Amino acid sequence: MPSLDQAAVFRRLRLMTLRNSLAVALKSGKVKLFTMLATSAVVAGFVYGLAHYGFWELANAKVPLKGIVGGLLFDLLFFTLGGMLLFSTGVVLYASLFTAPEARFLLATPARADQIFATKFRAAVAFSSWAFVILGVPVLVAFGVQAGVPWYFYALIPLFLLGFVLLPGAVSATIALLLVRFLPKNRKQAFALLILLLTLLLGAWLVRAGMQAREAFISGGKKDDVTDLLGQFQLTQSPWMPSHWMTTGLLAAGNDRPADALLPLTLLWSHGLIAYLIAAGVARLTYRTAFDRVSGTGRAKKKYRANVLDRVMEGMVFYLSRPVRLLVVKDFRTFRRDPTQWVLLVIFAGMLLLAGINFREFSKRVEGGISADVLSLVNLAATCVLLCAGLSRFIYPLMSLEGRKFWILGLMPIRREQILAGKFAFAATGTLVVAVGLTMLGDLLLGVGPVPLLVHLTAAVCVGLGLSGLNVGLGAMMPNFKETDPSKIVVGFGGTVNMIVGLGFLVLVVACSSGPVLLASLRSLVNPSAEGWPWWAFAGVPVAVMMTFYAVWLPLAAGARSLRKSEF
| pLDDT tens profile 28-44 | 556 556 666 666 676 67
Q: Is 256 left (phi over 0), alpha (psi -120 to 50) or beta?
A: left
Q: How many Cβ atoms sit within 10 Å of the Cβ of residue 173? A: 28
Residue 265 near residue 156 (C-beta atoms within 8 A):
yes
- Mapping DSSP to helix (H, G, I), strand (E, B) and coil, where does residue 371 land? coil
Q: Write phi, then psi, for 245 (nearest 5 degrees).
A: -60, -40
Give me the mean pLDDT over the 494-501 stretch: 78
In SS3 terms, 470-491 reads as: HHHHHHHHCCCCCCCCHHHHHC
Question: Per-residue DSSP letters for 277-339?
Answer: HHHHHHHHHHHHHHHHHHHHSSSTT------HHHHHHHHHTTTS-HHHHHHHHHHHHHHHH-H
Query: Model confidence over 85-124: pLDDT tens digits?
Result: 777 777 778 777 887 778 888 888 888 888 888 888 888 8
Instruction: Pick 32 or 266 by higher pLDDT.
Output: 266
CA distance 61 to 452: 26
pLDDT computed for residue 542 by the predictor: 92
How many Å apart are CA 10 and CA 13, to the nearest integer? 5
> Angle between the 493-526 and 30-60 helix axes, to the nearest 10 degrees?
20
Task: Return the higher-pLDDT residue of 24 and 502.
Answer: 502
Q: Rounded to whole angstroms, how far apart are CA atoms 36 and 491?
A: 8
Over 70: is that where the pLDDT of 384 sits? yes
Cβ atoms of 503 and 391 within 8 Å: the answer is no
What is the rounded CA–CA span in Å between residue 500 and residue 514?
A: 21
C-alpha distances (whole Å) from 354 to each of 132, 387, 540, 552 are 19, 17, 30, 32
pLDDT higher than 80, residue 275: yes
Look at residue 471 and tell me whether its pLDDT is greater than 60.
Answer: yes
pLDDT band at 548 (very low <50, low <70, confident <90, very high): very high
245-259, 288-302, 506-520, 541-555: range with highest mean pLDDT: 541-555
Residue of higher predicted confidence among 317 and 69: 317
Question: Using 50, 70 and 90 to split pLDDT, how confident is the model at 463?
Answer: very high
Instruction: Indicate the residue type of 354.
Output: L
Q: What pLDDT score does 381 carry?
A: 81
Q: What is the pLDDT of residue 226?
A: 45
pLDDT tens digits, 343-371? 666 665 665 565 555 555 555 544 444 56
The answer to whether residues 92 and 128 touch, using CB atoms and an 8 Å cutoff, is yes
Torsion sign, CA atoms 400, 404, 407, 408: negative
pLDDT of residue 28: 55
Q: What is the pLDDT of residues 198-243, one digit of tens each?
A: 655 655 555 555 555 445 444 444 444 444 544 555 656 667 788 8
> pLDDT (tens digit, 9 = 90+) per residue, 72-96?
778 777 877 777 777 777 777 877 7
Residue 319: pLDDT band (50, 70, 90) is confident
Residue 50 has pLDDT above 50, yes or no: yes
Beta carbons within 10 angstroms of residue 366's beta carbon = 17
Within the chain, what is the greatest distance between any pair of CA atoms? 83
514 pLDDT more than 80: yes
Q: What average pLDDT does the segment 273-298 reach? A: 84
Distance CA 224, CA 475 (A): 52
- Runs of H (alpha helix) within 28-150: 30-60, 68-98, 101-107, 113-147
Contact 252, 156 (CB under 8 A): no
Q: What count of other Cβ atoms lies within 10 Å of the Cβ of residue 102? A: 12
pLDDT attached to residue 48? 81
User: Which pLDDT band holds residue 543 (cuts at 50, 70, 90)?
Assistant: very high
Q: Are 502 and 470 in contact (CB under 8 A)?
A: yes
The better pLDDT of the pair 394, 301 is held by 394
Q: What confidence score (pLDDT) does residue 545 get?
A: 93
Q: What is the dihedral sign for C-alpha 223, 226, 232, 234? A: negative
**What pLDDT does 405 receive?**
67
Taking the mean position of all CA atoms in its chain, how far away is CA 81? 10
**pLDDT of amino acid 220:** 47
Query: pLDDT at residue 549 above 90?
Result: yes
pLDDT averaged over every residue in the chain: 75
pLDDT value at residue 152: 85
- 3-state SS track over 180-244: HHHCCCCHHHHHHHHHHHHHHHHHHHHHHHHHHHHHHHHHCCCCCHHHHHHCCCHHHHCCCCHHH
Q: Which of 195, 201, 495 is nearest to 342 (CA)?
A: 195
Q: How confident is the model at residue 487 (pLDDT cuts 50, 70, 90)?
A: low
Burial of 431 (0-12, 13-18, 19+ CB in 10 A): buried
Residue closest to 135 by CA, chosen among 353, 359, 386, 437: 386
Give percent of the chain above pLDDT 70: 70
